[in-house]
Amino acid sequence: MAALKYAGMDDTDSEDELPPGWEERSTKDGWVYYANHDDMKTQWEHPKTGKKKRCAGDLPYGWEQETDEKGQIVYVDHINKRSTYFDPRQAFTVEDVVVKPKRYDGNTAALEILQGRDLSDKVVLITGGNSGIGLETARSLALHGAHVVLACRNLTRGNKAARLIQDEWHKARVEAMMCDLSSMRSVRDFAQAFNAKKLPLHILVCNAAVCTQPWSLTEDGFESTFQICHLGHFLLVQCLEDVLRRSAPARVVVVSSESHRFTDLSDTCGKVDLALLSPPKTNYWSMLAYNRAKLCNILFSNELNRRLSPHGVTCNAVHPGNMMYTAIHRSWWLMTFLFTLARPFTKSMGWTDIADVTKQKNGLEVTDLKQ
């Protein structure tokens, strides 16, 4: 008690009551800290109890968290037309305790993974972000504050997807830009336009893909599945490598597939046969072309991580899950039929439900969002 008296902390009766000169505040994500106006210092622990606390739950109805011109967090009560620097949730703080990490499984959604994360200082670029896994990824990151750029080959559909996310949260920062991975010229034009924005790039998600496509050649003379799934992303990363390095720590995420295991790139002598990557029509099978492109994704991701990780840019290849229901199979009726049979046993994505709810309001059909 003598030490408390010397520190000026014996003037209060309640254990949680702050001594003179101290003020309780909270961070943007709800953690409580304590400011000492006499010593001009802050600390996480309560000056008397030594405990850490955090705000429980969401802001009350009608309240919103904003930032003033000095960069300080301010809480706005839209119902009563007033604002304060005091977090209204501080009336319901709970003691910080050590919680075991949550176990994520096949039923865990992206929003659950990101719960409590503040991504407001991050810029994310997602290819094929207007449908399927790309749209769910874009939505989840944008709702946690990230500035998300959707790189889409169809700008109209990209803009519709961006509006869909912004309808869910009016402060979501989402924009669509034209990028057709089947055209090297389009990829270079996109990279030039993105660099002209002078934005950093903290996360690049190479997501766009096609599967079960009929054989065709791109304007660059490559088989279309190989170019869209791999070559286009390969060039895109090369074009954006400088901005990724300047934005370090940054990361590249390559969305791959377990199907990469069901092929190889070797000829009968065990040597890599590059002719297998972009075969003529007579030697083409759509699923095999997809599998080979995904194998290239894995090899590219590993080598990219080896080269760029010393510069603060990591790269990971991610398998999104077996039989995840998306529209990637739409080019082949047989695969569509098999996916339809399997759908009750596969994982659905939250964006499907949002599209169903908002399509009448916005005049959108779910099919409009397909890439």
Q: Which residues are part of the catalytic machinery?
A: 290
The Cα–Cα gap between 260 and 290 comes to: 8
Sign of the alpha-carbon dihedral angle for 40, 45, 47, 53: positive
285: left (phi over 0), alpha (psi -120 to 50) or beta: beta
Contact 138, 167 (CB under 8 A): no
Contact 230, 254 (CB under 8 A): no
Q: Which residues of 322-347 are buried (b: 16+ CB within 10 A; e: fewer)?
A: eebbbebbbebeebeeebeeeeeeee
Question: Tokens in use for 280?
Answer: 């003529």
The Cα–Cα gap between 283 and 285 comes to: 7
User: For 209, what's the count of Cα atoms within 13 Å in the CB-facing half-sphere?
Assistant: 29
Angle at 291 between CA 286 and CA 294, to 5 degrees: 125
CA dihedral 152, 154, 157, 163 (to 10 degrees): 50
The helix (H) or strand (E) run that includes residue 80 is none
133 CB-near residues (< 8 Å, 6+ apart): 207, 255, 320, 324, 326, 349
Give the β-pairing of 93-95 and 313-318: unpaired
Q: Residue 286 gets which letter from DSSP?
A: H
- Residue length of the chain: 371
